[in-house]
Amino acid sequence: MDIACHLGKVVDALPDTRLGRHIAGQLVRSGTSPAPNYSKASAAESKKDFIHTREIAPKELRESRT
């Protein structure tokens, strides 16, 4: 949650240009999805599904790293 709050401040500081909006959209998607993905993994129907879903969260965080 702290990461999402920090990203919100970063996104709000970006310029209102086509590039700024594009980067903001990508940051919002990748920066706010790890927690729901991690939560979704706990409801996985199989061990394979759990591992796959659980591995998505760190990938999204790496994508958001600034």
Closest CA to 63 of 36, 25, 31: 31
Q: For the chain, what's the residue count?
A: 66
- How confident is the model at residue 14, as a pLDDT? 95
- How confident is the model at residue 65, as a pLDDT? 72
Q: What is the pLDDT of residues 5-15, one digit of tens each?
A: 888 899 999 99
pLDDT 10s digit of each residue in the chain, 66 long? 577 788 889 999 999 999 999 999 988 888 888 788 878 888 888 999 998 888 887 887 787 775
Q: How far apart are the first and last CA of the chain?
A: 16
Q: What is the pTM of this model?
A: 0.64
